[in-house]
Structure 1
Amino acid sequence: MSEENDIPKIPGYVSVKEAAAILNVTDKTIYFYIDNKRLQAVRASNMLLIPKEEIERFQQRSVGRPRTKTPSWHSSTKDNALLVTSIRVPVKSGKHTILSKNLAKLRREGLHNFPGTVARYIFGFEENPDEVEILLVWKVGIMPDQEAREKLLKVFQEELSDVLHWEKAHYHQGTVFMHA
């Protein structure tokens, strides 16, 4: 039986699993927040329940120290070169909410990390909300070969095929001249 079936719905409270979905983190992270008194929870039998108002006012902190100095531009050496794969793909009509949920699931479950990348971005544009861009920055010295990268991308495409028009995607590949 799943957690949702085991826990009676108590107005004003959510389960650990529901809190994780709302905050877009893992269950383990919710337990960490509770253990470190960042989230308050109540125990009902052997289950932890979190007041909804706790979730609503919760502020996630950024990791590490805030930057006090903007990093300067760098140029990569030949053996440390960076390759960029850019993919612009339309979102299927009415699928924006499902796309957000699917991306949250990928993040929570640590899926599609594209080994060999040093940065991965998926973002949208205000002027065209019906399109997303996927930006993968590969370190040439450690990235997989072309065939392996294509296989990784194919699995990623299959995962999001219900929400993105992959057949209408525009692909670009290039070399990074400078980066911060």
Structure 2
Amino acid sequence: MGENDDIPKLVGYLSVKEAAALLNVTDKMVYFYVENKRLQAVRVSNMLLIPREEVEQFQQRSVGRPRTKTPSWHSSTKDNALLVTSITANVQAGKQGALDKKLAKIRREGLHNFPGTVARYMIRFEGSPDQIEILLIWKTGIMPDQESREQHLQTFQEELSDVLDWETAQYHQGTVFMHA
């Protein structure tokens, strides 16, 4: 029997997978929250069920410790330079929701991590919600060669080809000369 059979679900409870999707985290993270008593759960046979109300009221905490001091400016040495790839792309008409779902899946499943990057950002600007900017920050000492970087980018573009307009995307690349 599959999940789509005509067996009714227990009203008011979610599976770990459903809770993870609502919280936009991995299944593993939901188990972590249950183990650490941040989410209540009930065991039914060999699976955990989480009250829907618990999930809806769940407050995720900030990760890490709060900064006490603003970092100073730094400049990288030549052998430790940072390279930035900036891509501005338009969201296809009516595809904002689909884009959000795809990005959540990419994050949840750990896809498209671009080996050699030390930071990756997806930015949606308030004045242009139909446009996103993708920033990939590469450390020159550990980044793969140009061909490998282009292959990773092509795979990423294929994944998002039905929600982003790559034909009109603008690409820029530069070297960071000062950073925090």
TM-score with structure 1 setting the length: 0.95
Shift of 1:121: 0.4
Tell me the percent identity: 76
> In the alignment, which residue of structure 2 is the partner of 1:88?
88
Structure 1: tracts of 5 or more residues without a match:
none
Shift of 1:37: 0.3
CA distance in 2, matches of 1:28, 1:7: 26
TM-score with structure 2 setting the length: 0.95
> In the alignment, which residue of structure 2 is the partner of 1:101?
101
CA distance in 1, matches of 2:151, 2:45: 47
Structure 2: tracts of 5 or more residues without a match:
none
CA distance in 1, matches of 2:15, 2:64: 29
> In the alignment, which residue of structure 2 is the partner of 1:132?
132
Shift of 1:14: 1.1
Aligned: 1:17 with 2:17: yes
CA distance in 1, matches of 2:6, 2:84: 46
**CA distance 1:81–1:47, shift in 2 (3 Å):** same
Task: Report 1:18-33 matches (<5 A).
Answer: 18-33=18-33
Shift of 1:4: 6.2
CA distance in 2, matches of 1:7, 1:27: 23
**CA distance 1:3–1:143, shift in 2 (3 Å):** farther
> In the alignment, which residue of structure 2 is the partner of 1:173?
173
CA distance in 2, matches of 1:78, 1:60: 40
**CA distance 1:105–1:5, shift in 2 (3 Å):** farther
Give the number of equivalent residue pairs: 180
> In the alignment, which residue of structure 1 is the partner of 2:113?
113
CA distance in 1, matches of 2:87, 2:7: 42
